[in-house]
Structure 1
């Protein structure tokens, strides 16, 4: 199956191709990057191509919370994400829409929880435009007994412009990686700062879910995926066959 680069006629929705220059969105980011706990929105992953090349598809990974790195006010947390987000999991649901890409699917773990998604195929996204991939996002409830005032989850993204192996990722125009720069995976972003992933911040509803008095001003929690998860979930597979990277 030719997943990417398949030249067919398709109608591109103006609602999903926004802007006349990739300079509008220098980074690949969520349209709504912050949500109050317990709320749900139709969100968009706003992305652009790799330099002058057409964008053929995208691959997205959410931290699964299983072996993720959890930081509290910048310091390692000895427990798990469940200490702060007990209902975390299956928060993202991809919305089927062929306005930009012909093929798409969710990525799931062994329990069927959605840990990411991919989209690709069709004519691709011209390098002069941005694309918004639509999905539903639900903000989990923050643990009432915790001191978390917010939980920031880092979403890893690869915008694919050439179908290659990981050994060619350093070639300009092949792939645009919005990932961590220090996990030790082939998908790590080459950068002096760890500013690649798209942040998604879940904020506490201080009216419905006030902080315990002992918490003071509360703490900020951050969640990063493990290297093992990125290596497992970043590749794109169709019917069990990996089509990217080669």
Structure 2
């Protein structure tokens, strides 16, 4: 019996170590709650798992001084239905996209914060800066998502929103983007914030899946999975950080 218990403990330690190593290796910036139900406002956190890469030690522990988070605006976003590109508007699937996110006021990680609004006045993201996530600490930046309602006639059983995030460790121009100064968790859609395939996190954005709880129309069968991704036009418009009308990131030169 003692041998069996000891063996189980050893296996648990080994398994735990493997899982921990796996989590560290994939510690991208993600949403703490990546999947929510229809009709519920959810208080969530952006989890910054690590900083930028120290060029001397190769450790990802350079202080994150700012973060930018952008949800698709649903206006010129690209949409796929079961993996196939669709020209249907997002309103065919979600009837109240509007402002998908609101920032929760908090200074635990960053001292300054501001919501990002699209031309219609909808809140599509936020930026936060000054202070920052340091060393091997994990940063949790709070926000709240809307109470999404699926369009009644829609066959969507879920809608996944692709979320673009930039974790900034040093203010640079776009040409100066590198692993020591920025961690980009953005979709590669042709924007100036794509990054390149030799940078950490290339084309590995965060996401939020909204699961339908209302009944599907009978003709829909099992339903379809919808993915909505911000366009290059939106990211070029909404990712830059400005204070009092002056763009402070990316630098202009």
TM value normalised by structure 1: 0.85
1:135 partnered with 2:143 = yes
Identify which of structures 1 and 2 has the higher relative contact order when contacts are C-alpha pairs closer than 8 Å and 6+ apart. 1
1:73 partnered with 2:82 = yes
User: Residue by residue, what CA displacement relative to the aligned partner does 1:195-242 show, whole Å, maximum 9, x if unpaired?
Assistant: 51111000000xxx2111111110000000110000000011112211
> Quick one: which of 221, 226, 237 aligns to 2:231?
226
Asked whether the equivalents of residues 71 and 100 of structure 2 are also in contact (C-alpha less than 8 Å), the reply is: no
Pair 1:127–1:189, CA change in 2 (3 A): farther
Map residues 69-108 of structure 1 onto 2, 5 A cutoff: 69-108=78-117
Asked whether the equivalents of residues 180 and 189 of structure 1 are also in contact (C-alpha less than 8 Å), the reply is: no
> Quick one: which of 157, 169, 175 aligns to 1:161?
169
TM-superposed CA distance for 1:24, in Å, is 7.8
1:39 corresponds to:
40
2:184 corresponds to:
177
Pair 1:201–1:36, CA change in 2 (3 A): same
Residues 112-121 or 87-96, more deviating:
87-96
Asked whether the equivalents of residues 109 and 133 of structure 2 are also in contact (C-alpha less than 8 Å), the reply is: yes
User: Residue by residue, what CA displacement relative to the aligned partner does 1:134-171 show, whole Å, maximum 9, x if unpaired?
Assistant: 011124111110100000000000000010000011x3
1:4 corresponds to:
none
Q: Which has the larger radius of gyration?
A: 2
* 2:110 aligned counterpart, secondary structure: coil
d(CA) in 2 for partners of 1:113 and 1:166? 26
* Greater fraction of residues in helix: 2
2:221 corresponds to:
216
* 1:102 aligned counterpart, secondary structure: strand
Asked whether the equivalents of residues 73 and 124 of structure 2 are also in contact (C-alpha less than 8 Å), the reply is: yes
2:4 corresponds to:
none
1:186 corresponds to:
192
d(CA) in 2 for partners of 1:112 and 1:196? 28
Asked whether the equivalents of residues 57 and 161 of structure 1 are also in contact (C-alpha less than 8 Å), the reply is: yes
TM-superposed CA distance for 1:127, in Å, is 2.9
Unmatched segments (≥5 aa) in structure 2: 1-22, 54-60
d(CA) in 2 for partners of 1:218 and 1:110? 33
Map residues 227-246 of structure 1 onto 2, 5 A cutoff: 227-246=232-251
TM value normalised by structure 2: 0.83
d(CA) in 2 for partners of 1:141 and 1:172? 39
User: Residue by residue, what CA displacement relative to the aligned partner does 1:47-95 show, whole Å, maximum 9, x if unpaired?
Assistant: 1311231110100110000000010001111211010011002121101
